[in-house]
Amino acid sequence: MTSVPFPVSNTTKSSLTITQVTVSGSGFSFAGPNLPITLAPQQSANLYVTFFPQAAGAASGSATILGSGFNGRWQKQHTGSLTVSLLGTGISGGYLTPSPASLNFGSIPVGSKQTQSVTVTNSGGSSVGITQAAVSGNGFSMSGFSSQTLAAGQSLTLSVAFTASSAGTANGTLSLSSTATDANLSVALSGTGASSGYLTPSPASLNFGSIPVGSSQTQSVTLTNSGGSSVGVTQAAVSGNGFSMSGFSPQTLAVGQSMTLSVGFTASSAGPANGMLNLSSTATDSSLAVALSGAGAGSGQLTASPVSVSFGNVSVGTSSNQSGVLTATGASVTVSSASSSNSQFTIGGIGLPLTIASGQSVPFTVTFSPLVSGAVSGNLSFVSNASTSTVGETVSGTGQAQQHKVSLSWSPSTSSIAGYNVYRGTTSGGPYARISPSVDTVTTYADSTVQSGQTYYYVTTSVASSGMESKYSNETTAQIP
């Protein structure tokens, strides 16, 4: 807004009175003095018109002065009014535009620093004086500012930095004071401090235990980034006799991400072995070590006891069991198979393959099931990874034919008698031969003269005191196994 004076003078010989000033045109208005005013002859006064542009660009108007007693001149002959042309140009005010409108530094490791730029441009139509700039918020700082005036379209670039001093979110503000229409400008600042990355091994150490010399075993170790920022794993190596590694290539692990390495141990000689898996990374624990251990075990010894087993006499068709023990010494032994040279001797009580720790024993059973009469023998063999791959026992026994017997019984006679006779035949219905040596007074008889695989037919008679013998009883049958 601007007020401009224009002078008026009474050049006549009589007084003049200005009663009204009428202003036309957008943005123009009469500003004073208060009317009416009277000008004595040869007297002058200033009238003020204000221009308050409503839009950018040229504007025009007029001021008409009305008065009384005009019988002279106002710088020229005038009878009742005087009109003055008004001209002015509206220009847009200055205002500041930040780019970007806010700064987000994202997540950065604690202790690290990141810098971004913000450019402030005078987007208005008139100059802007920037008088002050400051930042607030923990970890935020600024450089590149000095008080200055920006012409229309001119820019100022400031450098804003964020240093993550602790884990968590941080917020701040870049504040600018100026003569712009937006006299106080604020740019929001934000960032997050992330805890440094660190590697966690699982398991923390590898123990391969005791394995036979010449054998190998493989285990895995998983490395996890347990921190708050990415970790670059740059190198991995193993040390120690017999230890090796596979599955590694340099890589970056994001937060929570894992990698798995395969570590092997080959027992080249008897005795303990120790080593180390060493890793280099950008983590806080930049040098990480995982302890490795193992042992080479000399070949174990396997013994079977007793050395020989005798079952004595065992009836054909039945079985007899005896116990034995397998013992490992020097190192663990794995028994892979067990066999018998004679099918009448069988091994039981153990499941194969079977690993027996050094100094431990495992029981087993041997069963003798004779199929025929007579003496039989055999050998039991146990095959393992012991220094002596096969150990055994000798077994023996005698199959004895079973002695069969037919037991007979009958109901007693209802009449008075001296006893009974027992008869046997090999054909149903006879003929029969007496097998009882004498008249027997009891109603039972045991026939021990039978042979395996035969069928016999039995009858009885009763004998009176006079010696008279009754006819044959009903026939009964006995089949010998």
Pairing, β 140-143 against β 148-150: unpaired
| Cis peptide bond upstream of 353, omega within 30 | yes
* Cα distance between residue 273 and residue 266, in whole Å: 10
Task: Give the DSSP per-residue string, 360-398.
Answer: -EEEEEEEE---SSEEEEEEEEEEESSSSSEEEEEEEEE
- Reading the block at residue 260, the tokens are 């798995």
CB crowding 106-140: b at 16 or more within 10 Å, else e: eebbbeeeeebebebbbbbeeebebeebebebebb
* Cα distance between residue 347 and residue 344, in whole Å: 10
* Cα distance between residue 336 and residue 137, in whole Å: 74
* Cα distance between residue 459 and residue 462, in whole Å: 11
* Cα distance between residue 426 and residue 477, in whole Å: 10
Q: Which CATH architecture has domain 96-194?
A: Sandwich (2.60)
**How much is the pLDDT for 25?**
87
**How much is the pLDDT for 433?**
95
Q: Which helix H or strand E contains 335, and what residues bound it?
A: strand 333-340
Rounded to a whole number of angstroms, the distance between the first and last alpha carbons of the chain is 138
| Backbone torsion region of residue 316, taken as left when φ is above 0, otherwise alpha when ψ lies between -120 and 50, otherwise beta | beta
State whether the Cα torsion 89-90-96-101 is positive or negative.
negative
The domain covering 2-90 belongs, at the CATH homologous superfamily level, to Immunoglobulins (2.60.40.10)
Question: 406-479 has which fold?
Answer: Immunoglobulin-like (2.60.40)
* Cα distance between residue 399 and residue 316, in whole Å: 5
What are φ and ψ of residue 47, in 5° steps? -105, 140
CA-closest candidate to residue 77, choices 16, 34, 7, 121: 16
What pTM was estimated for this model as a whole?
0.39
CA within 13 Å, CB half, 444:
4
Domain boundaries of the chain, sorted by first residue: 2-90, 96-194, 199-296, 301-400, 406-479
Just give the CATH number of 301-400: 2.60.40.10
CA-closest candidate to residue 233, choices 269, 257, 212, 267: 257
The tens-digit pLDDT sequence of the chain (481 residues) is: 677 888 888 888 888 888 899 999 888 888 889 989 998 988 888 989 887 776 667 888 898 988 876 543 344 334 467 888 888 876 666 778 899 999 999 888 777 899 999 999 988 778 888 999 999 999 999 998 999 998 888 999 999 999 988 888 999 999 999 888 778 989 999 998 877 788 999 999 999 998 877 789 999 999 999 887 888 999 999 999 999 999 899 999 998 899 999 999 998 887 899 999 999 998 877 899 999 999 987 778 899 999 999 999 998 889 999 999 999 987 888 999 999 999 999 999 999 999 999 899 999 999 999 998 899 999 999 999 888 889 999 999 999 877 789 999 999 988 889 999 999 999 999 999 999 999 999 999 999 888 888 999 999 999 998 889 999 999 999 998 8
Distances (CA, A) of 183 to 122, 167, 186, 450: 12, 35, 10, 132
Question: 199-296 has which fold?
Answer: Immunoglobulin-like (2.60.40)
* Cα distance between residue 408 and residue 105, in whole Å: 110
| Residue 343 burial (C-beta neighbours within 10 Å; 0-12, 13-18, 19+) | exposed
Pairing, β 231-239 against β 271-281: antiparallel
Contacts of 467 (CB under 8 A, 6+ apart): 418
